[in-house]
Amino acid sequence: MDIDHLNQDLEDAARRLEKDINYRVLRAVPKPFSMMPGIGAPPDGRCVCIIDLETSGLDPEGDAIIELALMMVFVDDEGAVVGHFGPRSWKEDPGIPLEPEITMLTGLANQHLTGHAIPDAFVAGMLDRADVLVAHNCSFEISWLERRYPSIAGKPWACSMRDIPWLRLGLDGRAQTALLMQHGWFSPTHRAAADVWSLFWMLRESRTGWLKGSPQTHLQRLLEAAESLTVMVQAERAPFSKKDLLRARGYRWNPDGPFWQIELPPQKVEHEQAWGYRNGLPAMSTRKITACERHR
């Protein structure tokens, strides 16, 4: 555990306290810092861009981005971090007053945004430079960023909420704050840059839980998931009477189909199609899914 930023006397007391099963100790995530090898030039290897944004509402077509944060992380062929810088963050004036609930949620008030604008050319350059884009619940970020920066349409994404098997790693829930606390950390603030940094800090951790094999960092697991091929099994023409059966099985409704669908590893597809046949469903179609289609 990297605790160099903490008071050593208080850390000694914390270690004594956490020996008692009736206590858990949380440590503050350190302040952001950059770590680049050599003279600071970007190292060889893949570039991962961790992203978080705050918005004035939930509708990408009618609402606006009010804060955006990006962090560039460079990894080697095994997914180990070899350098990182950021996060960089920017605020933007939406041109209309924020609802009080948005201020309570984000900590951003109207006076914080007046006169601010996101530098689109600079941001687009950072997004284009990245080989993989990462966010916690990235389907939200995708719906906003691909509208604003069309050049990233079809770029690979990895979702730290859905693409890491948190339950099998022995962790409850998928909310970033809860996961961070289960690793023994907390973030003192909730803003886009702080959320990006605390996500990076958590992804550096490693767990095995119920999974077999050598320990990996969460970032390594996430990148492996992004590189993996999955298959979308589509229950097209399924009778309305089968909706509860499909929902209980883990299928989700795709209104663009429209049909029920479930994403599976390739080795489970034949078994799933046999299950559909046994339950009176029409033959189910399939399509391959990569990180360029996933979460969209």
pLDDT of residue 1: 61
**Dist CA 165 CA 181 (whole Å):** 17
Please state the pTM of the whole predicted model.
0.90
Residue 72 lies in domain: 30-226
The residue among 226, 245, 279 that closes a domain is 226
The reply to whether 267 falls in a domain is: yes
Query: 144, 7, 123: which is closest to 64 by C-alpha?
Result: 144
Does 180 share its domain with 242?
no
Q: Do residues 44 and 66 touch, judged by C-beta distance below 8 A?
A: no
The residue among 204, 226, 248 that closes a domain is 226
Does 246 share its domain with 173?
no
Does 265 share its domain with 152?
no
The reply to whether 182 falls in a domain is: yes
Q: Give me the residues paired with residue 48 across strands.
A: 73, 132
Tokens for 10?
A: 């208080």
**For the chain, which residues score pLDDT lower than 50?**
none
pLDDT of residue 215: 81
CATH number at residue 113: 3.30.420.10
Phi, psi of 103 (to 5 degrees): -65, -40
The reply to whether 215 falls in a domain is: yes
The reply to whether 88 falls in a domain is: yes
| Helix (DSSP H) and strand (DSSP E) numbers for the chain | 10, 13
Does 197 share its domain with 131?
yes
pLDDT of residue 59: 94
pLDDT of residue 38: 79
Does 273 share its domain with 191?
no
Does 45 share its domain with 92?
yes
| Strand-pair category, 132-135 with 157-159 | parallel
Q: Do residues 76 and 37 touch, judged by C-beta distance below 8 A?
A: no
pLDDT of residue 83: 94
The residue among 191, 226, 261 that closes a domain is 226
pLDDT of residue 45: 84
The reply to whether 7 falls in a domain is: no
Tokens for 248?
A: 């209980």
Query: 261, 168, 258: which is closest to 213 by C-alpha?
Result: 168
pLDDT of residue 211: 77
Does 170 share its domain with 284?
no
Does 209 share its domain with 258?
no
Does 81 share its domain with 148?
yes
The reply to whether 74 falls in a domain is: yes
The reply to whether 238 falls in a domain is: yes
| Helix 218-227 / helix 192-203 crossing angle, nearest 10 deg | 90
pLDDT of residue 26: 94
pLDDT of residue 190: 81
- Beta strands in 6-80, from DSSP E residues, in sequence order: 27-28, 46-55, 65-75
Taking the alpha carbons of 165, 166, 170, 172 in that order, is the dihedral positive or negative?
negative
Give pLDDT tens digits for 240-286. Answer: 999 999 999 999 999 999 999 999 999 999 999 999 999 999 999 99
pLDDT of residue 47: 97
Does 69 share its domain with 213?
yes
How many domains does the chain contain in total? 2
The reply to whether 12 falls in a domain is: no
Note the residue count of the chain.
296
| Strand-pair category, 216-217 with 185-186 | unpaired
